[in-house]
Amino acid sequence: MEPYSKLPELKKENKALRGLKIQWQETSVKTEALRWGVTSFPTSIGLVSRPLAIQEVLMRESNRIGLQDPGLEKEHREFFKKILPAIQADTQEGGVTESNMVDDTVNTPSLESTSKVRQRIREWAKLEVFPGQPFNVRDAYPIVNAREPEEKRVVAKELNYLIDKGILEHPIGAAYGNYKRIDDTKVIVDFKNATTENFDIELPFDLSKIITLSPSDLIVVAGESGAGKTSFALELIKRNLGLHKCLYLSSELTAGKMKKRLLLHEDIDFDKWDFNMEIREHDFSNAIDPDRVSIVDFIVTTDDFWKAAIALREIHNKMINGKGLCFAFLQKGAEKEFGYGGDLTQQHASLYLTISKMNSKHPNYLKFVKVREFKDDIESPLGKVIPFKLFNSWKFKPLVGSPIYQDDYNGVSKVKKLWEQ
């Protein structure tokens, strides 16, 4: 069956349409078409990508696209003027159906595969896209391995369907083809019963003389493997024995390994260690106590790094009315600014620190990546570093007089010089 029973004359214009393809790429027609799921312009009428989507563009936006828009190229205006009456006539006689939608030469996904693609995109948008984070339709293609125009059209149409359902929206001022997940999380904030006092806590590196923390704060520490994340966590617990009974959530330490780590601390008797420990690899927000000092060491993400940002968001929401603190540790790649999950992992943190290992260019160092509050009588520590050595997996020795911190380096010369001293 001819896919365009009412458009036979247009099949003769294949050559002209090919010439229009390049111009199409640069016009507002493409922008509007993407909104309705059209991801490629036809090189011939017999190979149109989803005529039904073309029909949607023309019928729903005919007054704005190509007919009354002086900004479009003359050829495009003439093309749409010519094709619109035929599309309207086709619609009056029943429209384009699934059986005559495309030519036999078009590689159209089966109904079953289309359903799977739409389901996967729906799951991705609801569960894996960080609320409020913008993305482009092209970011969704790899999720379902969409390569063909037909497959991409299914992806775009599903994203637009999710807009209608109130799950996604177009960012204000962004071109069509851009989306963001609507953040509909509601966390009731009990500000009337909140305290305005700072949280009294002792931090490794004497950071308490630099940093100010408040109840319910989330502190993120991202470190390279073996850089000293667990050493930092245990030093934090040790400095607050008798002041706070901490809750330590570990993703890797067994009871025996933990005892070995604690016995390394020569400055304290083993019997004085007093804290609660649990093994936890997921669902951290339900394990922490918002009224205590909770330590998550560390958030496991494997290859799904986006989950780290979601886990931190859930922890932040759990802590929002709490009286305690939460320290969350992340893995970090070498020479990276943020932990796995990227800059989204700093979104809810009051304090964001990174720990980098020594290499041929620099020593171990701790860096202030994000600092919301610091002492009134000192310069902002944002972007600064503290070079250090770590002895016997527990003892931190800053290479500058604590709590003095060194400016972040351009290249490595400043830190290297300090290190060598």
Residue 21 backbone dihedrals phi, psi, to 5 degrees: -60, -45
Nearest Cα neighbor of 395 from 228, 208, 226 is 228
Q: Give the pLDDT of residue 81.
A: 58
pLDDT score at 7: 43
Q: Please compute the mean of the pLDDT values over residues 17-35 and round it to a whole number.
A: 44
Amino acid at 361: K
Place of tokens 């936890």: 280
Rounded Cα distance between 9 and 3, Å, is 13
Amino acid at 402: S
Q: Are 229 and 221 in contact, with CB atoms under 8 Å apart?
A: yes
Token representation of residue 247: 């809750």
Both tokens assigned to 365: 């160092």
Q: Crossing angle of helices 14-25/74-92, nearest 10°?
A: 110
| Residue 343 CA from chain centroid, whole number | 8
Supply φ then ψ for residue 351, to 5 degrees: -140, 130
User: How far lies 42's CA from each of 45, 198, 317, 339, in Å?
Assistant: 6, 64, 48, 44
pLDDT of amino acid 74? 54
* Per-residue pLDDT at 131: 79
- DSSP-H helix ranges across 2-148: 14-25, 28-35, 51-61, 74-92, 111-123, 137-140
Provide the whole-model pTM: 0.63
Q: What radius of gyration do the chain's Cα atoms show?
A: 29
Q: How far, in Å, are 206, 334, 344 from residue 339 at the CA level?
A: 23, 10, 9
In the chain, what are the domain boundaries? 8-92, 111-181, 192-420
How far apart (Å, rounded) are the C-alpha atoms in residues 7 and 83?
8
How many whole angstroms from its chain centre is CA 71? 36
pLDDT at 346 over 60: yes
Name beta bridge partners: 338: none
Q: What is the pLDDT of residue 223?
A: 95
Nearest to 94 by CA among 230, 1, 221, 222: 1
- What pLDDT score does 101 carry? 33
Whether domain 192-420 has CATH 3.40.50.1820: the reply is no
CATH number corresponding to 111-181: 1.10.10
Answer positive or negative: Cα dihedral of 126, 127, 133, 137: negative
Confidence grade of residue 80 (pLDDT, cut at 50, 70, 90): low
Residue-wise pLDDT tens digits, 378-401: 888 999 999 999 999 999 998 865
* CA 343/CA 349 separation, integer angstroms: 11
> Considering only CA atoms, which of 201, 210, 202 is closest in space to residue 368?
210
90 pLDDT higher than 80: no
Whole-angstrom Cα distance, residue 145 to residue 120? Answer: 11
Pairwise CA distance, residues 12 & 46, whole Å: 10
Task: Say if 111-181 and 192-420 have the same CATH topology.
Answer: no
Residue 228 has pLDDT above 90, yes or no: yes
Rounded Cα gap, residues 80 and 32, in angstroms: 14
